[in-house]
């Protein structure tokens, strides 16, 4: 919407922005229909003032009757620092166990169809534009863990679903050295938020990484990057992401809107039969059409001679709890993983109020481990610090979320050199 007016009556242009006068006047409290003065309307109705509003009579209505807009406009559009274009594809893809499954995911502008979706990478303080053209819509893109304003958060319940095209706009907050309360750098993911349980399982997600802003007090060595503004440096060449994903083939027979009309299609029963480790070294993601990016091996730097440690980003992209165990060649637990952040938040020492909250390793308490337990959608950033060259085994297990019984297991070798 460019004219800013509320009287155009163009019901397809999305929500209006209240003027400062309107928001500052303490009139009647808003009701579920929106303004307190307009009559209750049917979902999607235009109350006469060009403003779309919804009313949900049941849970099913709430889930199924999201506002679906063809071409919502990006409000307060700013020049982009970086921009990406995403389309949606549906396709049978072959996995590393030779099974083929129907997958839906995001493809790049030039037709790269890969699962998971393309890596989106931005730096703190940059304005990102992500233009989405779902074509098989409606779909959305939710930026999981970031907190854009509601229009750009990609949650249909608080904004709209997209039938045509929309450009999401957001700007990750910059970090400050020693400040535990700001900064965004870390590992995230994006996923569709339409019929979310199904669409995420179908493959509509991809990795999202926010890099820290450069700070003059924290220079960066050649070939390295910092994990967060005053965080440790890591080696760009071996940086990798590990994405445990499990798959229930029954779900992959369902349609776009399965379950949204109140019918029971069993989305409360996730019974995976396949267990996959997706991802790999970010610098070596295979290109080409229609393939699964599967993780078969990892490398880890032994520090020295100017080499920085390897950063392993971990993303649980399925509905079961995962457990990682790292062992050495004799099978003994190997505490070579240093946990430096979780869900895009750095671990800092906040024990003394009023003093800089340093990264915990710098404060003398590095969190070294051989095991990591993490649930759906959680992300952890691990620095791998093998003490000497050799081989390690990283085992991922999937656990039943009620009984805790291990239902799937995969392993990869970490070669330390």
Q: Does 144 help bind Cu ion (rule: CB under 5 A)?
A: no
Specify the residue, 134 or 186, whose C-beta has the smaller distance to Cu ion.
134
Least separation, in Å, of the C-beta of 402 and Cu ion?
27
Cβ proximity to Cu ion, 190 vs 276, nearer residue: 190
Residue 192 binds Cu ion, judged by CB under 5 A: yes
Residue from 194, 292, 312, 383 in contact with Cu ion (CB under 5 A)? 194
Residue 139 binds Cu ion, judged by CB under 5 A: yes
Shorter beta-carbon distance to Cu ion: residue 161 or 233: 161
Per CB under 5 A, which region of 7-15, 68-76, 157-165, 186-194 contacts Cu ion?
A: 186-194
Q: Which is nearer to Cu ion, 192 or 260 (CB)?
A: 192
- Indicate whether 385 belongs to the interface with Cu ion (CB under 5 A): no
Which is nearer to Cu ion, 139 or 144 (by Cβ)?
139
What is the spatial distance between Cα 246 and Cα 274, in angstroms, rounded to a whole number?
Answer: 6
Is 142 among the residues that bind Cu ion (CB under 5 A)? no
| CB of residue 137 to Cu ion, shortest distance in Å | 8
* Least distance from Cu ion to the Cβ atom of residue 139, Å: 3
Write down the least CB distance from residue 104 to Cu ion, Å.
7
Q: Which residue is nearest to Cu ion (CB)?
A: 192
Residue closer to Cu ion by CB (options 192, 298) is 192
Site mask, Cu ion, residues 201-220, x = CB under 5 A? ---x----------------
Q: In terms of CB distance, is 123 or 191 closer to Cu ion?
A: 191
Closest distance between Cu ion and the C-beta of residue 240, in Å?
27
Does position 199 bind Cu ion by CB under 5 A? Answer: yes
Binding site for Cu ion (CB under 5 A): 139, 192, 194, 199, 204
């Amino acid at each position: 919407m460019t004219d800013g007016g509320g009287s155009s009556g163009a019901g397809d242009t999305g929500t209006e922005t209240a003027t400062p006068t309107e928001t500052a006047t303490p009139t009647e409290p808003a009701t579920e229909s929106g303004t307190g003065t307009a009559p209750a309307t049917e979902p999607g109705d235009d109350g006469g003032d060009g403003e779309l509003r919804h009313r949900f009579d049941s849970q099913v209505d709430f889930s199924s009757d999201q506002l679906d807009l063809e071409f919502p406009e990006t409000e307060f559009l700013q020049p982009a620092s970086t921009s990406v274009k995403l389309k949606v594809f549906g396709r049978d893809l072959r996995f590393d166990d030779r099974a083929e499954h129907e997958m839906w995911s995001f493809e790049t502008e030039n037709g790269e169809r890969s699962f998971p979706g393309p890596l989106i990478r931005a730096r703190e303080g940059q304005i990102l534009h992500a233009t989405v053209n779902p074509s098989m819509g409606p779909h959305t893109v939710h930026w999981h863990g970031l907190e854009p304003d509601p229009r750009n958060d990609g949650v249909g319940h608080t904004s709209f679903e997209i039938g045509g095209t929309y450009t999401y706009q957001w700007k990750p907050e910059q970090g400050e050295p020693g400040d535990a309360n700001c900064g965004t750098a870390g590992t995230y993911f994006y996923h569709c938020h339409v019929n979310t349980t199904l669409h995420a399982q179908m493959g509509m997600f991809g990795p999202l990484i926010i890099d820290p802003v450069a700070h003059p007090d924290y220079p960066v060595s050649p070939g390295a990057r910092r994990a967060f503004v005053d965080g440790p440096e890591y080696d760009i060449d071996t940086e990798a992401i590990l994405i445990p994903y499990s798959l229930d083939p029954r779900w992959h027979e369902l349609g776009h809107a399965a379950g949204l009309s109140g019918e029971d299609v069993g989305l409360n029963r996730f019974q995976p039969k396949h267990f996959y480790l997706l991802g790999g070294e970010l610098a070596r993601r295979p290109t080409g059409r229609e393939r699964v990016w599967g993780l078969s091996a990892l490398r880890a730097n032994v520090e020295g001679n100017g080499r920085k440690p390897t950063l392993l980003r971990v993303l649980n992209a399925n509905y079961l709890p995962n457990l990682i165990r790292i062992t050495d060649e004799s099978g003994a637990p190997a505490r070579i993983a240093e946990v430096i952040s979780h869900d895009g938040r750095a671990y800092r020492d906040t024990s003394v109020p009023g003093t800089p909250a340093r990264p915990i390793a710098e404060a003398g308490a590095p969190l070294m481990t051989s095991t990591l337990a993490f649930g759906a959608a959680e992300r952890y950033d691990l620095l791998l610090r093998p003490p000497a060259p050799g081989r390690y085994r990283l085992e991922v297990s999937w656990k039943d979320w009620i009984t805790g019984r291990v239902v799937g297991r995969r392993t990869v070798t970490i070669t330390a050199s």
